[in-house]
Amino acid sequence: MVRETLGEDAVIVATRDEKGGPGHGGGVRVTAAIDPSDYNADYNDEMFGAPAFETHGRAAPSAAETWLQYDAEDEEAAVAEEITDAMLRHSVPEDVMDQILSCATVIGFEEPGIALIAAVEHLFHFTPLPTGKTAKAIMMVGPPGSGKTLAVAKQAARAVMNGLKVGVVTTDTVRAGGLEQLQGFMKLLNIQLVKAKNTAELQGALEGLRGCDQILIDTAGVNPFNGDDLRGLARMIGAGAIEAYLVLPGGMDSEESGEIGRVFSTIGVHKLIPSRVDIARRLGGLLSAAHHGGMSFAEATNTPKVADGFLSLNPKNLSKLLMPAAYRDSSSSPGRMDQARKGARRAQ
């Protein structure tokens, strides 16, 4: 389809799974581009009428114009090089890095920070955690030790400070100290903690908390590569009106994180909460999990203090985590985020 539309020299810049598309069955978004130097005038005359690149009898480009072209190519190479260095530092998988670089290059900004923001905005989704009354319970899921209990406590604290009535359920009744830790948090917030050992008890707990503005569910850590663990969690998610969030720490192996994201997406988990981003120096695994699992970023935890809440995630903040120096340079100029958004729309 790309070649039929743009010609044989067109390149696919990025692909992304789309959930809830036409017919709600989802689909795949493909971003493609063609280099002006590869433009086929005869082909495009036939397809679209007059060619887009005409000389109109003008003389060949002057030496000065040629040097301007070379300067633009040098700037483009410099942007690509800086973004590549950042992606390599974060151990971003090659397939994800290629899409980020292709998108950033096509958008054409001269500053790496702005180019990265625009590419991230185009390639990833962002869906903040709810701050008001919700129809679905919020369930935190993930591997053992990923920070699920802390995420529940942070969300509960924020909801209480917003004046909401909060109910909290835990299915983590086996891990030593897990129940006591959450009980300590809930006692400070004056929230009753309900225990649920299985799916039937979880259904009963949700029924009993129906009058709450927000219901939060903490779960036991699961091995995503253990079929029994995964099936048990899937039953828990299906116990009622529940929206599950994968809590995944930064600093993990990128390939491993990508597999984990893909596995959790098969049981209906489509939102990601990165944890421990304050102590992680390599965040490529988070990009890999979001990409391969088709997940949107919610918010991140960057402190163990419950009262400090979450770090808001958007293209700007995620780019700042990935390439802070370039972000500081680019953010000094007004209107840059608007330019990045326009660039992302052009690439789309």
Least confident piece of the model among 32-36, 182-186, 237-241, 336-340:
336-340
Residue 245 predicted with pLDDT over 50: yes
Please, which pLDDT band fits residue 43 given cuts at 50, 70 and 90? very low
Would you call 234 exposed, middle or buried from its count of C-beta atoms within 10 A (0-12, 13-18, 19+)? middle
Q: Give the whole-angstrom CA distance, residue 15 versus residue 13.
A: 7
66-85: burial string, b at 16+ Cβ within 10 Å, e else:
eeeeeeeeeebeebbebbbe
Please, which pLDDT band fits residue 110 given cuts at 50, 70 and 90? confident
Residue 70: per-residue pLDDT:
45
pTM: 0.76
Please, which pLDDT band fits residue 6 given cuts at 50, 70 and 90? confident
Residue 38: per-residue pLDDT:
52
Name the segment(s) of the chain with CATH classification 3.40.50.300.
137-313
Residue 299 three-state SS: strand
Let me know: does 321 contact 314? Beta carbons within 8 Å: no
- pLDDT, the chain, mean: 83
Average pLDDT of span 333-348: 51
- 283-317 confidence digits (pLDDT tens): 999 999 999 999 999 999 999 999 899 999 999 99
Average pLDDT of span 77-98: 92
- Which of 329, 315, 320, 288 is closest to 302 using CA atoms? 320
Please, which pLDDT band fits residue 31 given cuts at 50, 70 and 90? confident
Percent of the chain with pLDDT over 70: 78
Residue 48: per-residue pLDDT:
44
DSSP string, 130-174: P-S--SSEEEEE-STTSSHHHHHHHHHHHHHHTT--EEEEE---S
Percent of the chain with pLDDT over 90: 61
| Architecture in CATH for domain 137-313 | 3-Layer(aba) Sandwich (3.40)
- Which of 287, 289, 241 is closest to 265 using CA atoms? 289
- 202-224 confidence digits (pLDDT tens): 999 999 999 999 999 999 999 99
Residue 339: per-residue pLDDT:
53
Residue 47 predicted with pLDDT over 50: no
Residue 31 three-state SS: strand
Supply angle C-alpha 219, 224, 225, rounded to 5: 150
Dig out the tokens for 320 from the structure.
């700042």
Please, which pLDDT band fits residue 328 given cuts at 50, 70 and 90? low
Residue 37: per-residue pLDDT:
53
Residue 181: per-residue pLDDT:
80
Phi, psi dihedral angles at 209 (to 5 degrees): -105, 20
Q: Give the whole-angstrom CA distance, residue 172 versus residue 198.
A: 10
Residue 341: per-residue pLDDT:
52
Least confident piece of the model among 43-57, 79-93, 137-151, 329-343:
43-57
